[in-house]
Amino acid sequence: MRNEIIHNQTKQKTYTELFDKSYTSSETRLKIIKNNEKPVQNVRLLIQILSVLLSIWIGIEFFLFIKFLESGGNTIYIDRPPGVEGYLPISSLMSLRYFIATGEIHWAQPAGLFIFLAIVMISLTIGKSFCSWGCPIGFLSENLGAFGEKIFKRKIKMPRLLDIPLRSLKYILLGFFLYVIFLAMDIISLRNFLDSPYNQVADIKMYYFFARISRFSLTVIIVLAFLSVIFKNFWCRYLCPYGALLGLAGLLSPVKIKREISSCIDCNKCSKVCPNFIDVAKKKYVISDECTSCLNCIDACPVKDTLYLKVLPSSKILNKKYVAILVVGIFMFITGIGMISGNWKNKIKLEDYFYHMERIETSEYSHPTGTN
């Protein structure tokens, strides 16, 4: 099949007509070149799988560390993996405020701060890309949605009347956390919280939350998983405050998807593949807090140089293959700074952990707000 096809003003011609019938006309105006760039979805999948494997590895190490503590030191000793702090974003947000106010990195969950900064920096650079390239929950959510699409043979969209108010839920949650951490708490109460026995063992508390999960919490998780099968990315789209923060940070990113209106053939493929229901085929630039830079739309576009990443305000184009390098590179660079500077492992000694473990069920180790 020829790669170059000539067509006239017939933007309504389908992709098949344009590329399979070598459409020509005497009223030739525009030359369309087929997009031969390799898709990046396999690379994205590989990075997602590596991220999930890393999380599983951290989970196993943390499990063995807790078993060591529970046994009073009678099982094999495995160092606590600092990466577990990546699952404590509220504590990390508090550490960030503490760092801004005092210039000090708090000793209880320092790795969490570096992981948090790395993820925000990725979003500021290349949009909300952590959600679709690195987040294990995003990966799970994406696959539950893909499973649902197979069952229902289509993407089910939440009715617009519900979609808009539901999408605001994650911002309400984010607003609440930002208000409490940055406005309601003074620096003394913030330090008291970070120093508290609860915060020191917040990771262990999180482990017990899942290991001894209540019927109610399990039901909530099952319902969320079920809703994610029906409505793609239900958790991420409606409820995740972390994603809300990254979406806002992503709006500030200079890298945006641009649609070249002059060469677009209006095939609508980009809109159809977007997991976040963004009508890419109607945009000049994709500027949306929901865009996760998954690049499905760019991969799907059949016309060369019609959908691409542009670095604003310059006219520079960013090749899509650099997204993977940027996401992984920024993450490794910022967490690497934490490791090299000696701020990766927390300053809680093993004997302190044994002390905490003996008392972890007491009220002293409840959440300072009384919510446990």
* Positions in the binding site for ligand SF4 (CB under 6 A): 257, 259, 264-270, 273-276, 278, 280-281, 286, 291-297, 300-301, 303, 306-307
- The least CB distance from residue 122 to ligand SF4, in Å, is 14
Report helix, strand or coil for 6.
strand
* Residue number with CB closer to ligand SF4 (84 or 274): 274
DSSP secondary structure of 133-168: HT-HHHHHHHHHHHHHHHHHSSPPPPPHHHHHHHHH
Decide: 303 and 263 in contact? Cβ < 8 Å: yes
* Residue number with CB closer to ligand SF4 (194 or 278): 278
Tell me which residue of 369, 2, 17 sits closest to 177, measured CA to CA: 369
* Residue number with CB closer to ligand SF4 (253 or 293): 293
Decide: 185 and 179 in contact? Cβ < 8 Å: no
- The least CB distance from residue 34 to ligand SF4, in Å, is 11
* Residue number with CB closer to ligand SF4 (111 or 300): 300
> Which residue has 């509220």 as its token pair?
90
- The least CB distance from residue 44 to ligand SF4, in Å, is 10
Cα separation, 217 vs 220, in Å, equals: 5
* Residue number with CB closer to ligand SF4 (95 or 132): 132
Cα separation, 117 vs 62, in Å, equals: 22
Q: For strand 30-33 and strand 307-311, is the pairing parallel, antiparallel, or unpaired?
A: unpaired
Name residues whose C-beta falls within 8 Å of residue 352's C-beta, 6 or more positions apart in sequence: 200
- The least CB distance from residue 128 to ligand SF4, in Å, is 8
Cα separation, 220 vs 114, in Å, equals: 30
- The least CB distance from residue 263 to ligand SF4, in Å, is 7
- The least CB distance from residue 265 to ligand SF4, in Å, is 5
- The least CB distance from residue 151 to ligand SF4, in Å, is 22
* Residue number with CB closer to ligand SF4 (30 or 178): 30
Cα separation, 107 vs 195, in Å, equals: 9
Tell me which residue of 291, 257, 295 sits closest to 40, measured CA to CA: 295
* Residue number with CB closer to ligand SF4 (96 or 264): 264
b/e map of 277-296 (b: 16 or more CB within 10 Å)?
bbebbebeebebbbbbbbbb
* Residue number with CB closer to ligand SF4 (181 or 297): 297
* Residue number with CB closer to ligand SF4 (196 or 263): 263
Centre a 10 Å sphere on the Cβ of residue 311 and count the other Cβ atoms it contains.
Answer: 13
- The count of C-alpha atoms lying within 13 angstroms of the C-alpha of 115, restricted to the half-sphere facing its C-beta, is 21
- The least CB distance from residue 32 to ligand SF4, in Å, is 9
Which segments of 153-253 does DSSP mark as H helices, in order?
160-178, 187-195, 197-200, 202-211, 215-230, 234, 241-251
* Residue number with CB closer to ligand SF4 (58 or 278): 278
- The least CB distance from residue 30 to ligand SF4, in Å, is 12
- The least CB distance from residue 234 to ligand SF4, in Å, is 16
Cα separation, 108 vs 82, in Å, equals: 10
Question: What sign does the CA torsion over 222, 244, 60, 107 have?
Answer: negative
Cα separation, 50 vs 242, in Å, equals: 21
